[in-house]
Structure 1
């Protein structure tokens, strides 16, 4: 009986440490300032364009000195009339302050991303929000 309990406990520990979040991988959403960007591509079904965008965006976010957390998304199949699924990608980035977001706008990593990908999109809309 003891062996069964120990085995079960060992399986639980391995599963939670292998598949759960750790301090190294967990990021906390910073509610001070959110920067939400929607991108509409000229050729939204072009796999090469999508791969280039995703690679460049991930490199940029990895190298950003200002972005605290980020989320890259694509639109799900909308099931409600109020959901706008017309965009190709969305990006949500959080910052510790509006000043940090301003620094992000002018940092080299951000400018390289724009230069690499600006020909891919036909429209970009940005929504910035201060936390309350």
Structure 2
């Protein structure tokens, strides 16, 4: 019985480690596009639902974005942390060229058209990762 419990626990450990490696492998640090969005009416459930629906469609249909993450700020526990935004979108690309194509793709342009009336401010920070040699 102890041997079966050990084998089950060992299998679960291996599976959980494999899952962690897979998620790490999907993040492509070649080009990271971080978008901070402030909605005009962040307390409006209607506005949030419209924004999130449009964002979900966009993320599902983007041809170039690899990693696709949408989050909301946790309550800041330190003065240095900015929690004033409504949403944070992080998408990664295999290259700067793919990010340029993404800017013109139909899914991205449709998202902007559907949602830009909902936001009052957008800040974007792009970063490139180290080149592999």
Of Structure 1 and Structure 2, the greater helix share is in 2
Gaps of 5+ in 1: none
Q: CA RMSD in A?
A: 2.4
Structure 2: give runs of 5+ residues left out of the alignment: none
- Alignment: residue pair count: 129
Residue equivalent to 1:79: 77
Q: 1:24 to 1:45 in 2, by over 3 A?
A: same
Structure 1: which 4+ aligned runs deviate by more than 2 Å?
A: 3-18, 20-27
CA distance in 1, matches of 2:60, 2:85: 23
Q: For residue 21 of structure 1, report the CA deviation from its aligned partner.
A: 3.5
- Give the deviation of 1:36 after TM superposition: 0.5
Give the TM-score normalised by structure 2: 0.83
The one of 90, 93, 96 equivalent to 1:92 is: 90
- The separation in 2 between residues aligned to 1:17 and 1:29, in whole angstroms, is 19
Structure 1 contact 27–69 (Cα < 8 Å) conserved: no
CA distance 1:28–1:56, shift in 2 (3 Å): same
Please point out which of 50, 60, 63 is paired with 1:62.
Answer: 60
